[in-house]
């Protein structure tokens, strides 16, 4: 059974970094692993990848030592089950706005006695080879990362209740949807709200995620980390664009 190295690093007090992959791209997953990113964030809320493709990207992650995590499209128990059964070691769940919703997600992602996830002996359990069902379910319960997203005003207002949910490991703050929920007041106001939310998450005993980061603004990322963020995501496409733009500018400047 595999150790969730990202969860281990978080629990050791480290900051972890993940690249967001929005479509079927196992080679990109492998590159992120080879570069030393801690996890890959497979986006199945906005991206088109199907379950078979997710499973192949999980295999790519496993082969390059990077934790496979997916943002799933909804809260449904069956959705959570089917994604986790692909072998993912974590799920990021959009628009979790109440403590009740966070608790339901956490229970759906874990087996008895911590939850009610349906039991199957597939790849998440090493196909039952060399491990008993009791051992496998206990291990998976200990390793899975459940990551509700804080991306609505309602979630901010209910943050204290969400923080009470034992099975919610990371609360991930998404600035774009949060800004929309706030009425699109501008980047400065969104960041002001985030600067309040991130320390509250850490003070509540949870890990704090932050998304919407730009490769061109590493100072802002560093500020978020100083405010408490320790689960940091960045778009793989944004990294590609940033590198491509810098390459063209540098070559043309030397001509």
Show which residues are catalytic.
46
DSSP the chain: ----HHHHHHHTT--EEEEEE-SS-HHHHHHHHHHT-SEEEEETTTS---HHHHHHHHHHHHHTT-EEEEE-S---HHHHHHHHTTT-SEEEES---SHHHHHHHHHHTS-TTT--PPP--SGGGGGGSSS-HHHHHHHHHHH-EEEEEE-SHHHHHTHHHHHT-TT--EEEE-HHHHHHHTT---HHHHHHHHHHHHHHHHHTT-EEEEEEE-TT-HHHHHHHHHHT--EEEEEHHHHHHHHHHHHHHHHHHH-
């Amino acid at each position: 059974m595999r150790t969730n190295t990202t969860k281990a690093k978080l629990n050791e007090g480290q900051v972890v970094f993940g690249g967001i992959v929005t479509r079927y791209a196992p080679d990109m997953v492998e590159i992120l692993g080879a570069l030393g990113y801690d996890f890959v964030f497979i986006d199945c809320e906005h991206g088109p990848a199907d379950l078979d493709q997710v499973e192949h990207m999980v295999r790519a992650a496993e082969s390059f030592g990077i934790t496979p995590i997916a943002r799933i499209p909804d809260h449904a128990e069956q959705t959570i089950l089917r994604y986790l059964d692909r072998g993912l070691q974590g799920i990021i769940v959009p628009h979790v706005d109440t403590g009740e919703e966070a608790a339901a997600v956490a229970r759906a992602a874990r087996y008895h006695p911590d939850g009610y996830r349906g039991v199957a002996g597939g790849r998440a359990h090493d196909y039952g080879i060399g491990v008993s069902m009791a051992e496998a379910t206990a291990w998976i319960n200990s390793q899975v990362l459940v990551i509700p997203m804080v991306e609505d005003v309602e979630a901010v207002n209910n943050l204290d209740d969400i923080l009470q949910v034992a099975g919610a490991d990371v609360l991930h703050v998404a600035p774009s949807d949060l800004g929309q929920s706030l009425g699109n007041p501008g980047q400065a106001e969104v960041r002001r709200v985030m600067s309040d939310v991130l320390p509250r998450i850490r003070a509540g005993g949870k890990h704090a995620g932050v998304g919407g980061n730009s490769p061109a603004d590493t100072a802002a990322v560093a500020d978020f980390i100083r405010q408490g963020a320790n689960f940091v995501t960045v778009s793989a496409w944004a990294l590609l664009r940033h590198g491509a733009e810098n390459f063209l500018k540098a070559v043309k400047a030397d001509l």
